[in-house]
Amino acid sequence: SSRGWGRETEGPSTNGRAGKVGVVKQAGARCLEGEDRFTELGRSKAVEGFEGEDQDLELYPLSDGIAEPGAGDRTWVTEFWMICSLWREEAKINELTTEVSKLQKEIDMFNQENSVYLSYEKRAEALAVEIKDFQGQLADYNMLVDKLNTNTDMEEVMNDFNIVNYKLILTLSLTFPVCRKEDLIRVIDEEIEKEKQAADTIIKNMSEDKQAKYMKMKSTNEHLLHELDARQQELDGLNTKKEALETDIAHSQVKQEAVVLYEKLNELESHRDQIISEDKSMGSPQEERERLLKQSKAEMVDLYYRLTEMREKINQVTEEIRHLDLDLEEHQGERNQKYKELKKREETMDAFLDTYEETKTQEFERKVQLEASIVALLEHMSRNMNRMKQISSITANELKSMQEDLNFKETEMQKSQNTAKSLTDESHRLQQDLQKVEQLENKINTELNSLKEKIDQMTDALETYSNLDGLKATGEDRKKKLQEERVTLTKRRDTFRKVMQQLSKQYEALKVQLQENETHAQLTNLERKWQHHEQNNFVMKEFIATKGMESDYRPIVKNVTKQLAEYNKVLQEGLQNSRN
């Protein structure tokens, strides 16, 4: 039959691989067509064949005339099953390749759509900006049309415009300083970063020894800064405690009296200790006399040495002062010459100022006399002119004498005017010279005062540095006090560190507890919601304000009342004209 299967007795076909491929395809087609015709017996045999035999199975070529298998032959089931599995795998591979190609096409299409979408999105953003601009222009045009339809005055429009402009100016004035501060902060941060980078480059360019030294100094600096902060905090706490205690004492009279008594007690105890120490140090009268004698001799010798040192220092200082005076005279030789000249001018100015009042009165009297003479001459001239009018003829001698008299009077008047002008100019010049002299004198006085202050400072320094033993003793006392304070501060630092560690642990625990608390999370969410509602409320208020300004009917009422008044006036005038 057509479904017959079997092995060829002649061995493999001579056609080679092509014959095998054709037979496999034919068997695969038959497998797909008649798969449902296999019995359970064949399947069980195939399974038994795979499980029972360990040797390699040999697939022989199939012939067209295949006979029905026998009961003991199991090779045909194995061949058929392997061909079916290969065919199924090939079919699945073909399906997968087609599916992969479809997915690749979809990916390419998606990428293309994505690129197109990005370009469309950019274009949509640009169009949205243009739409917003056009919407703003449309709103302006609508408002203009409304104003034209309602016959709104230009003054009201300008008032509205000024109000909106004022609001914008206020918002800009509020935001501009903030922006400037932000820009300034950004610039400062950039400068700080640049400085840090420059410092890092300098550190990198250093040698290893210098870098190690720098890092050590940096760590010590940070440690000292932390220690300084801790000490500052401690000092602030002590100051607050002190202020609290002082306020507590100030409110209580009993505590004030107790403080006074404690101070007196401390003074008495110190005085008692001093007396006890003096009593212990005192010996017999003879020993005390010898001790005092030695002490006085030592003090005398010390005073003698100090006196000689002071004399030497005084001589040295006087010599330095003399050299300074010489240098000052050398540097200020020209100034001294100018000072002498100015002194002479000052004397002449003083003499002029002393005789100024007298000269002024004399010149004033002379001026009065000249004015009187001028008036008399004018009167004389007027009389002469009248006489010339009255008299038909006048002699040449009289005319010549009158002309000479007039010329003499004019020259005298010109001389007096020139003298007064020269005197005023001289007075102004002398006043300017006097001001210059006063300025120079003030400058010299300031220089002398500065030199005196320097001399006083040098003498004070000589007095302080002469007592070297006292300075050494004070330095040692200060050193001991600072060492004691250092020990106490280190102890207090350790205690404060322990307290700070405990407090930091408590703080971290409370922080974790607070973060885990639901109430805290709810409060933060409510706070965010509250901020959002506040923002929405602000936006709504602005919207209401703008709409209120748009729907304000008062300008329309004002315009209508004005037009009614004008119409009434026109009607009244028309009635009066018709009656007339």
Q: What is the pLDDT of residues 176-223, one digit of tens each?
A: 666 677 777 888 888 888 888 888 888 888 788 888 888 888 888 888
pLDDT at 55: 38
373 closest CA partner among 409, 331, 404 = 409
The per-residue pLDDT for range 417-451, each reduced to its tens digit, is 777 777 778 777 777 777 777 787 777 778 778 77
501-517 mean pLDDT: 84
- The packing angle between helices 356-390 and 333-354, to 10°, is 50
| Average pLDDT in the chain | 73
| Residue 175 vs residues 163, 167, 169: alpha-carbon distances, Å | 18, 12, 10
Other beta carbons within 10 angstroms of residue 377's beta carbon come to 17
Q: Which helix (H) or strand (E) holds 323?
A: helix 285-331
- Cβ-in-10-Å burial (0-12, 13-18, 19+) of 79 comes to buried
CA–CA dist 552, 558 (Å, integer) = 11
Distance from chain centroid for Cα 491:
40
282-294 mean pLDDT: 66
Q: Which residue has the tokens 């700080």?
A: 192
Longest distance between any two alpha carbons in the chain, whole Å:
193
> Distance from first CA to last CA of the chain, Å, rounded?
139
Q: Is the separation of the CB atoms in 47 and 96 below 8 Å? A: no
- Asked if pLDDT for residue 480 goes beyond 80, the answer is yes
Other beta carbons within 10 angstroms of residue 4's beta carbon come to 13
pLDDT at 8: 37
Query: Helix (H, G, I), strand (E, B), or coil: what is residue 70?
Result: coil
Q: Which residue has the tokens 């798969």?
A: 35
pLDDT confidence tier of residue 364, bands split at 50, 70 and 90:
confident
Comparing 455 with 330, the larger pLDDT belongs to 455
pLDDT confidence tier of residue 463, bands split at 50, 70 and 90:
confident
Distance from chain centroid for Cα 57:
88
Residue 107: which residues within 8 A CB-CB, separation 6 or more? none
| Residue 236 vs residues 187, 502, 579: alpha-carbon distances, Å | 35, 21, 98
Alpha helices in 206-284 (DSSP H): 208-251, 253-281
- Asked if pLDDT for residue 284 goes beyond 70, the answer is no
CA dihedral 21→26→32→34, nearest 10 degrees, is -140
pLDDT at 16: 41
Please, what is the Cα angle at 265 between 260 and 269, to 5 degrees? 155
The per-residue pLDDT for range 539-551, each reduced to its tens digit, is 888 888 888 777 7
Distance from chain centroid for Cα 144:
45
Q: Is the separation of the CB atoms in 419 and 425 below 8 Å? A: no
- Asked if pLDDT for residue 350 goes beyond 80, the answer is no
The per-residue pLDDT for range 49-90, each reduced to its tens digit, is 444 443 343 444 444 444 444 444 567 677 777 788 788 888
pLDDT confidence tier of residue 14, bands split at 50, 70 and 90:
very low
Q: If phi over 0 gives left and psi between -120 and 50 gives alpha, with beta otherwise, what is residue 151?
A: left
State percent of the chain over pLDDT 70.
75
Tally helices (H) and strands (E) across the chain: 13, 0
Which residue type occupies 80?
Answer: F
pLDDT at 368: 79
Q: Is the separation of the CB atoms in 67 and 6 below 8 Å? A: yes
The per-residue pLDDT for range 93-138, each reduced to its tens digit, is 888 888 888 888 888 887 887 777 777 778 888 888 888 888 878 8
Tokens for 9, please give them.
């007795």
